[in-house]
A and B are shown apart, each in its own frame.
Chain A
Amino acid sequence: MNGPVQSAAGQGLCACHVCSLVSRRTHLSEAAHCPRCGASLHFRKPGSVASCWAFLIAAYILYLPANLLTMMETGSLISYRKDTIMSGVVHLWKTGSWGISLVVFIASITIPLLKLISLTILLVSVQRRSTWHPRQRARLYRLVELVGRWSMLDIYVVTLLAALVQLGSLATVKAGPAAVAFGAVVVLTMFASMKFDPRLIWDPLEREKL
């Protein structure tokens, strides 16, 4: 970073979201569109914080049923069980599969929760125009973005088993309602992190400098 930090927005420059053409906006109060492709131009993602909050809250709400309801119903000739994520983890731990148990616990319980918390921290800090550790927060955002697509482990397992293990009366695996909720949580957090505009982390910094 050379010289004073100055953002493109600070200089009235705006990049098109579609064709990435940088254009200059002269009348900031008016809406503008790209001179090349005609797409609407925004300095920042429009309604970023609000939509992010919306997705995040939805994710929070669905996180509860995802963990409380049954994830998977396994029925076999001799037994029948309904497992929530947590009971599955406990069952795996009890039966000695500690490794898998840990993986499931981290992938299905910890990571979604951490994602939710991270996004909340980011949003709150952005809204409060905090200047606290912007680089750390940016790194956190990148981490959330990165991890997002990998937290569907449970869904993969359940859908695969449900599709493959259909032996009629001998053994069946069915996805429970929690699977849908869990999938929704993952998707919603991905949307939330997508909607989040990381440039907002830096805006208060510039303002402070200005």
Chain B
Amino acid sequence: MTDTPQNPDLPEIPDAVSEPHRRYAIQLVWIIPIVAALIGLSIAVKTLMDRGDTITITFKTGEGMEAGKTKIKYKDVQIGEVKELAIAHDRSHVVVTAELSKDARGLLVKDTRFYVVRARITGGNVSGLGTLIGGSYIGVDAGSSTESRDEFVGLEAPPAVSMDVPGRQFVLHSDDVGSIDTASPVFYRRLPVGQVTGTELDRDGKGVTVRAFIRAPFDQYVKTNSVFWHASGVDVSLSASGVKVNTESLVSILLGGIAFQTPEDRFDAPVAQANAVFSLFNTREEALKHVETAETYTLVFLESVRGLAVGAPVDLRGVTVGEVTKIDVALNAAHSEVAIPVEVRFYPDRLRSQRQGKTPHSRPLNSRELLDSLVSHGFRAEIKSGSLVTGQLYVSLDFFPKAKRAKIDWSAQPPRFPTVPGTMGELQKQLMHIVQKFESLPVEELSGDARKTVQSLDATLKSADKMLKNIDQSVVPEARSALVEARKSLEEVRGTLGEFRGTLGEARTTLGGANRVLAPDAPLQIDLREALREISRAAQSLRVLGDYLEQHPESLVRGKQEDKK
């Protein structure tokens, strides 16, 4: 195209307008692939960086899990997916290979827990219902460790409390697990403040370990001297103090639970560290007893302890200061006697706090000195009957000033505390003694004597009778004549009195007649009154006659004139 060929067939084609040549330095269009490359590159980099980690989790079963489908969720947000399900070499468990997104990298630390979420209905709660439709998934409970790892052992059940809930976990040791299970509530003053996160048998099989999680801010109430006890069910106990029914709450009756408390008088104790170990007691009372420093003593009784049970109170004038922990039988072959060593747990603090008043913490007196001094003043233990109905016995501590001098045998293990025979035993002994005395009495002789006595008494009585008859015969007739005379004279007196009475009666009738005459309604009186009235009338007519005669003196002659009409 160096030349411009002229075509004669197209003469009317106009010439293009020429203009100075313009050079394009760069073609802008190349920006597009560069931008695309940049975008592609950035996506590639992002994808590479977002590429999560692959982890393996081992589970006992692969129930509900499916490769490529089962999600891994943290707080219900998907953070990964199960890529592969394989059976371990020894076929004992399932190895789940999962890929997690990049933002889940922080979760892959040593104490992160993985668990399969399935629909779960337990006594306390219903969870994971969504998995019935959507299929189960693997839940994650983020750990707080900084040590990263990519191999995990999955839990078979979701943890009761996820790790991000503030609070602390404590370890409780108990003889048996009772009705406690994972997710059983923990109560503080009957307020649910936490949950049991796990129960397991101790490795030696001699007890169980219960892990309890207390939510913040309640965890601060777990002090180093707090006590935990089973709050499960209903606790009905029959003891020397009577029948007692104790429950925590309705929920705990159904589900079981744990309660804890800190003794009121020692509330300022330091707050317990996380994972601190506590004992889990069966009842609240037992737990509270253990708060105090306890000392164990042996009390050796020679009498029967039938009715004395382990747990029976050790009582000091009505205040429980300890309890019986063990009852043994010791056979002393040499003396061929049976002694009963009773082990008691004694809480000297109760004694001391009474003595020290407001300063229960200060311990100026060591309990050994204190007890020694008490014992030297006759402080002894004895067995007493708590209830005649149930036959429960208890150990009573009191002062027996007359008791034989004794000392606490500190060398024995546990120390041996002096005892006195119980009043029951004493009473029995005395009764026996009385019975024996009765038995030794010469009862038959005595009864023979008694019979003789009775016979002689009979004779005496008979003679007395005779004597009386004699008296009757000799004395009585004379006495009777005297009496008759006396009666006669009396009758005479009575006759005189009768006459006198007749006179008096006459006098009375006379007086009565007078009285009748004088009475206002007596006929005499009425007659008199009428007579007087007649007289006054007669006087009136006399006056009228006089007046008339005065005016008409002629009438004397002519008679009364007729009125003229």
Stretch at the interface among A55-63, A124-132, A144-152: A55-63
B47 touches A69 (CB 8 A): yes
**How does the 8 Å CB contact mask read for A72-87 relative to B, with 1 for contact and 0 for none?**
0000011110000000
Q: Which of A9, A28, A50, A79 contacts B27 (CB 8 A)?
A: A50
Stretch at the interface among A17-25, A95-103, A105-113, A115-123: A17-25
A11 touches B27 (CB 8 A): no
Interface residues in A, total, Cβ within 8 A: 50
B481 within 8 A of A: no
**How does the 8 Å CB contact mask read for B7-32 relative to A, with 1 for contact and 0 for none?**
10010011111111110100101111
CB distance from B40 to the nearest CB of A (A): 4
CB distance from A117 to the nearest CB of B (A): 17
A24 touches B43 (CB 8 A): no
Q: Which residue of chain B lies nearest to A59 when distances are taken between CB atoms in the complex? A: B36
A32 touches B16 (CB 8 A): yes
B497 within 8 A of A: no
B157 within 8 A of A: no
A65 within 8 A of B: yes
CB distance from A114 to the nearest CB of B (A): 20
CB distance from B77 to the nearest CB of A (A): 10
Taking CB atoms and an 8 Å cut-off, the chain A residues in 1-51 that contact chain B are: 9-14, 21-36, 38, 41, 43, 47, 50-51
B15 touches A23 (CB 8 A): yes
Taking CB atoms and an 8 Å cut-off, the chain B residues in 437-457 that contact chain A are: none
B33 touches A21 (CB 8 A): no
B365 within 8 A of A: no
B16 touches A23 (CB 8 A): yes
Bound form: Cα–Cα A79–B71 in Å: 10
A175 within 8 A of B: no
Q: Which of B10, B14, B135 contacts A21 (CB 8 A)?
A: B14
A58 touches B18 (CB 8 A): no
A31 touches B20 (CB 8 A): yes
A-B contact count (CB 8 A): 123
B133 within 8 A of A: yes
A12 touches B22 (CB 8 A): no
B residues less than 8 Å from A171 (CB atoms): none
B35 within 8 A of A: yes
Known pairs A30-B19, A61-B33; A77 contacts B134 (CB<8 A): yes
Taking CB atoms and an 8 Å cut-off, the chain B residues in 37-79 that contact chain A are: 37, 39-40, 43-44, 47, 71, 78
Bound form: Cα–Cα A64–B71 in Å: 27
A residues less than 8 Å from B44 (CB atoms): 64-65
Q: Which of A12, A79, A177 contacts B4 (CB 8 A)?
A: A12
Known pairs A11-B7, A184-B36; A30 contacts B21 (CB<8 A): yes
B residues less than 8 Å from A160 (CB atoms): none
CB distance from B124 to the nearest CB of A (A): 26
Q: Which of B18, B27, B47 contacts A32 (CB 8 A)?
A: B18
Q: Which residue of chain B lies nearest to A33 when distances are taken between CB atoms in the complex? A: B17
B residues less than 8 Å from A14 (CB atoms): 16
A residues less than 8 Å from B4 (CB atoms): 12, 24-26, 28
Bound form: Cα–Cα A11–B5 in Å: 5
A68 within 8 A of B: yes
B29 touches A188 (CB 8 A): no
Q: 13 A–B contact pairs at CB < 8 A?
A: A14-B16, A25-B4, A32-B19, A55-B29, A55-B33, A57-B36, A58-B32, A61-B37, A61-B39, A62-B40, A65-B40, A184-B36, A195-B29
Contacts A14-B16, A27-B18, A31-B19 supplied; 12 other A-B pairs, CB < 8 Å: A10-B5, A26-B15, A30-B21, A47-B27, A50-B27, A54-B30, A55-B32, A57-B33, A61-B37, A62-B40, A177-B43, A188-B32
